[in-house]
Amino acid sequence: MDKNTTSRSDDRAMSNTGANGTGGQGAGGNVTVDGAALWNDILETARFGGTPKGGIRRLTLTEEDRLVRDWFIAACQAVGCTVTYDSMGNQFARRPGTDDSLPPITMGSHLDTQPTGGKFDGIIGVLGGLAVLRALHATGHDTRHPIELINWTNEEGARFAPAMLSSGVFAGVFTEQEALDKTDRAGIRFEDALVGIGYRGTEPCGQHPVAAYFELHIEQGPILEAENKTIGVVTGVQGMRWYEVTLTGRDSHAGSTPMTMRADALLATARMIEAVNEVALAHGPDAVGTVGLIENRPNSRNVVPGEVFFTIDLRDPDDAVVERMEATFRDRAEAIATECGVQMILERVWDSPAVHFDPACIDAVRRTAGSFGYPARDIVSGAGHDAAYMARITPTTMIFVPCAGGLSHNEAESAESADVAAGANVLLRAVLDADARLDA
């Protein structure tokens, strides 16, 4: 049986509601999402960039991205929303409030994926938000604030580094021109790719008002599943830094160059990869270090590699630990470069400090999960999300639901329909709680 098309029936499933949801009290009464329609949306959008292994390859600002954006517009218009997009291609689906002069309560995530991504990372935050809009539309439930759903451009950073690029512009972390000038590995500029798919809007990025922001996401880790919890109440995001490293040695013949006379850039890279792993292990149980991208040149079987480009990702919930990890690795890397006779350029390309979410928004998620009877726990996000940047400018929090084995950024990524619906119900009630509480 395909795990991606079944629902849980164990203790984590909704104790007082079905997948569609009919229980829970608080703001919004008995308004709940249509879990079956939400699941169908997940399966339908998986067609855009679907891979033979059941995953998704939908890199940002590609034809597949354009197609799913077009689908998003049609789906939001079908539930009475108007859809606009700004100068970074961020899409906003708006449902009016009874006082449309108030800034909107917002939900969102992203539609782009990793090169070998799954059906749930990011997109359930968009489709869960669509389920919220659908529920409000179907019941005619009025809110004081406008309610908006956002699709952020280039959250993954798989094509244009760094990650969360457009939400970063929105929050003032990056300038718009800086982001527009980013290039992918083929040298294509972000702005040219954005214009190419027809999604460069006229509203300057960052001039869109927001009153609060909520983001639904799979955990991308194993904790919720291991503890049989349905909802993760996300209190913050750990600190993370990205680096790009270029090592330059000397191309030479593999058969005629003695081992003692080589300047092997790939050998130095291998030793640095091991150093990344050792540095992370030495800095406590929460520290992680990853090398995920390597380009070896000239990449010929009988040539000693003369140049290697690779990336490093360092993370920990404590910014001071990340700082120490960087300093330790730099020392190790410089020593390795000297030993191997190569030149090194090590550049930090992204620094996202640890984030602490809004206590009132966190409490709304915690209370809402309890009102439904969903087993829940507080949790810190190990992955970066657009919410990390939104927290700089507006009250923000996130809602996690389990994913099988904690596996993500993988075509085998899987989640249960009941858990996804539960997360969308918590999102709905948290949004309605904010609507009642803010500007009252």
Binding annotation for Zn(2+): 110, 121, 156, 217, 409
Alpha-carbon span 59 to 51, nearest angstrom: 13
Residue 7 and residue 416 in contact, taking contact as beta carbons nearer than 8 Å: yes
User: Which residues contact residue 229 at a Cβ distance below 8 angstroms, ignoring those fewer than 6 apart?
Assistant: 12, 223, 375, 376, 377, 402
Residue ranges for the known binding site are: 110, 121, 156, 217, 409
Calculate helix-pair angle for 35-45, 417-437, nearest 10 degrees: 110
Which DSSP symbol is given to 239?
Answer: E
List of E strands, 15-104: 82-85, 91-95
C-alpha 440/C-alpha 434 separation (Å) is 10
Is 295 within 8 Å of 246 (Cβ atoms)?
A: no
Nearest to 88 by CA among 156, 178, 11, 5: 178
Spatial distance between the Cα atoms of 387 and 236, rounded to a whole number of angstroms: 9
| Class of residue 323 by CB neighbours under 10 A (exposed 0-12, middle 13-18, buried 19+) | middle
CB 148 within 8 A of CB 106: yes
List, in order, residues 6 or more apart from 327 with CB less than 8 Å away: none
Distance separating alpha carbons of residues 384 and 359, to the nearest angstrom? 19
Residue 400: CB partners within 8 Å, gap ≥ 6? Answer: 217, 218, 219, 224, 231, 232, 233, 234, 379, 381, 423
- Assess whether the previous peptide bond of 402 is cis (omega < 30° from 0): no
Structure tokens at 343: 């030149």
Distances (CA, A) of 402 to 120, 147, 214, 226, 264: 11, 26, 17, 9, 44
| Partner residues linked to 110 by β-bridges | 152
> Distances from the Cα of 221 to the Cαs of 146, 169, 375, 381, 403, in angstroms?
33, 28, 17, 9, 7
